Amino acid sequence: MSFKPIIPKGSAPPLAPYSPGAKAGNVLYVSGMLSLDSQGNIVGIGDVKAQTRNILESIKSVVTEAGGTMSDIAFNQIFLKSLDDYAAVNEVYKEYFPQPSPARYCIQANLVKPEFLVEIASTAHIGN
């Protein structure tokens, strides 16, 4: 099965060879999103809440472009530079994913640049 790349207008330029999203059938895979604006500048340096909000808005734009909504997201993968930011990320996260929330995992990891505090990737099921 082939996939369709999903690239919303105003997406940040990729830091590597990837598409922001890839839809295969009714499954949408959203690449690991970092806190970047449409010019590729880092948003929210030093502020994990601002970075989380920017990332979730970027994920929302990919899901919307693919014809879905945030409630279609079934699984999230969260990578934190520091587990000290876990509560702050959850505070913003629950605004985008009220109960029942999607499945997820959250781990501590080195991210691609030291200014990045969080990265989130998602999987959504859109339509039948």
DSSP letter, residue 116: -
**Would you say 35 and 20 are in contact if contact means Cβ atoms under 8 Å apart?**
no
CA angle 95–34–84, rounded 5-degree value:
65
pLDDT digits (tens, 9 = 90+) for 28-40: 999 999 999 999 9
68 pLDDT band, cuts 50/70/90, is: very high
Statement: the pTM of the whole predicted model exceeds 0.75: yes
The residue extents of the domains of the chain are 4-117
As a CATH number, domain 4-117 is: 3.30.1330.40
118 pLDDT band, cuts 50/70/90, is: very high
